[in-house]
Every structure is written in structure tokens, then in C-alpha cells.
Copies of this chain bind each other. A is one copy, B any other.
């Protein structure tokens, strides 16, 4: 079953914005077996939208259109679809009444312009919008279903879920595409691909075939596995086996098999073991603490953090001896270790992390170029320190440094149990 997703709105054709509704729509359609073959952003222009809809009618089993249902002249979706189908538009007085009621509940009178939102291509079924004035529409033409939804995600998402449950899922009889995302950190993309390819290469010819895509994100490599199966249970069996094969191949480098970010994985390990953590950051400037505290409930294990950007702060906040900085430089393994040990002992937390480095663009030297980062982790009695060389601009260096430090901690925590 082939689907086409159209987002209507000239603002998404500027350099500043992307259409993100289509990601939600894709995920939901994939889950009931639709393959999205084309997605497009179309200007607020009835002729152009009608032309694109007309083109998609020739091949798509389903066309989902979001946006362009507001009350202004710029909102062309109703017109364009009616034109593509060669159907007149009628005013649906029940919709007018509902919009009037909606305004009345807030003590307002409906403006005349809102009557446009009650225009319906003849033959369409109206889809209720519990969160806004613009109703959605359902139409069929030949073998193609057309679903029209408003643009704001808060309105679009629940309406999409309803139309999938009530109208689309029954057509696809449970077959679908089911996905897993494995996240790997601490190994290069080419290394990951070289070791993964011989494994996932075999999956395509299984009874439940799985296709695999490798995506490189900052500080991690992702393996996206997509199984095509007639039901979720069959897909789960195949995907579970595939995930286990990759976990055997990559061992603890796989940090997530359910899409969770590294800070959530590390947080869960800390929670399970009843450990608390304190951080001392220089070049990451608080990003490590901020990522750790992005996880709901992290106040249970994040005791404190310090950002000791100046050398004076390193001495005052975590007790790094001035002569140590003078001898080795602020970006050095002895200083990172002193930061980790200092914040751990002063805070009384079980774990201390120290990060110091050169995020750039200034401050690099021949010995310590921009991107040099030293991370130290102290977990109760055990201590580890590593020097990394990251590439990219300032914010990328900060992210990779926080990622590497969290991964060092993760590997230490896993080892304490195994």
C-alpha cells in the first residue's frame, strides 16, 4: 500500500522551517503497513496543490494532506482538492453551527470569514476536530483514499490517530512495518558498518524480512531495523532475534535498543544501583549536567554540578591544586582526575566526573589542538581517565565530550556487575 503525504503552507518553503507533521504521519502509517513513497511541501496556491493531488491520484492508495484549512484566503486545501476531483464545494451548516458554538463557549462571536471552514467537497465525510475550528475531511476516488487534516500538530495528531483506528487500519488487516532503533557509541561508523553488514545482509531473505539502515548522528551511530510482517507478534520475534545478534556482535557498545538517549540509559543504571553523581565541567560548560537532568526524576541521583570555567574556579570549587594546573595545563589528565575526585569528595556523591578541554574555535595549540578533551570518572574506588580528539565546531565538541564521559561511566557501571 503506497502513501503520499502533502504538507500545505508557504512558510515551510522558506529556509527557516521544515515540515515535521510528516514524520508523525509516516510513523503511524508505517505501523499499519503503508509505505510512504513521496512527501511534498506545497505552497498556498490552489492550482499547484490541485496539480500535485491529481498526480498522486494516479498511483497512491492513500493521500494524507495536512494544513491549509484555516479561514483565510491563503487556506486553499479545500478548494484545491475539490478542483482535483472535479467536485463542487458546499457549505455544511452543521459545521458552521459547531464553529459558532466553539466561539460562544469562549464568549466570542464567529467572524463571517470562518464560514470558509465549513466548505466541504461534495461526497466528503467530515472528521471531528476536538481541538480546533477546522474539521478534517475523508474522501475516496477510485482506489485512493484522501485524508485532510489541519496543520497544528496538537489538532492533527489526535485526528490522525482516530482516522487510522477507525478507517485505515481495518483496510490493512494488521500487516505493517515495525521498527527498532539500536544506538551505538564509542565506535566509528565504518567500523560499525563493517561488522554489521555481514549480519544484516542475511536478514533480507528471512520469512519476515528486515531491512537495515545505518545513520550517523553526533557522538553515536544508529542502526534502524525495519521488519515487514503481517502482525506485530511475528515482527517482534524477528526483531528481537535481530537485536540479539547485533548485541552479541557489538557487546556493550550498544547502549540503547529502544531509542532512549544515553542520559536516560545512564540515569536508569544509577537509579538501579542507588548511586548519586556530581559533575565538574570546564569545556562542556554545564551541558553534561543539563543532559543528565533532562531525564525526569533525575533529582533522585544528580547531587550537584559545578562549571569551573576559570582556573580560579577549578581551585575554589573542586580543590584542583594551582601547581597541578601550572605544571600540566588546565587541559590534562591530572587536572581532569583532580576535578572528578574533588567534586566527588566535596559533594559526598558516589560518582564524580571531571571534563576539561578545548571546545574552540580559539585556544588550541600544536600539542593540544581544538577538540582535545580529557574526561575522568571516579566511581567509588575505581578511576578512569581518557583523552579524546573530537572534530567539529564548538557545540559539537561539547556534545561529543558529554557523550564520551557518560559512556565511560556507563561501561564502568556495567563492569561492576559483570
Q: Which residues of A pack against B, CB within 8 Å?
A: 11, 13-20, 23-24, 26-27, 30, 36-43, 45, 48, 51-52, 55, 58-59, 179, 181, 213, 215, 222, 224, 226, 279, 281, 284-290, 292-294, 296-299, 302-310, 312-313, 316-317, 346-347, 359-363, 394-395, 398
Contacts and interface: CB of A to CB of B under 8 A. Distances in A.
B293 A309 contact: yes
Contacts of A346: 316
Contacts of A361: 296
CB-based closest 10 A-B pairs: A285-B293, A286-B286, A286-B289, A305-B307, A15-B27, A304-B313, A40-B40, A286-B290, A287-B290, A289-B307
Given A299-B309, A307-B306, A309-B305, A20 B17 contact: no
A20 B281 CA distance: 32
Instruction: From A42, A48, A222, A310, name the one whose CB has the most chain B CB atoms within 10 angstroms.
Output: A310
Nearest to A17: B215
Contact of A360 (B20, B59, B296): B296
Main secondary structure, interface of A, reads mixed
B306 A305 contact: yes
Contact of A18 (B23, B24, B395): B23
23 contacts: A11-B213, A11-B215, A13-B26, A13-B38, A14-B213, A15-B26, A16-B181, A16-B215, A16-B224, A37-B48, A38-B48, A51-B58, A285-B294, A285-B298, A285-B302, A286-B307, A294-B394, A298-B309, A302-B309, A303-B309, A306-B306, A306-B307, A313-B347
Nearest to A3: B13
Nearest to A303: B310
Copies of this protein in the complex: 2
A278 to B, nearest CB: 8
A302 B327 CA distance: 24
A259 B285 CA distance: 23
Contact of A304 (B37, B51, B309): B309
Contacts of A347: 313
A26 B303 CA distance: 46
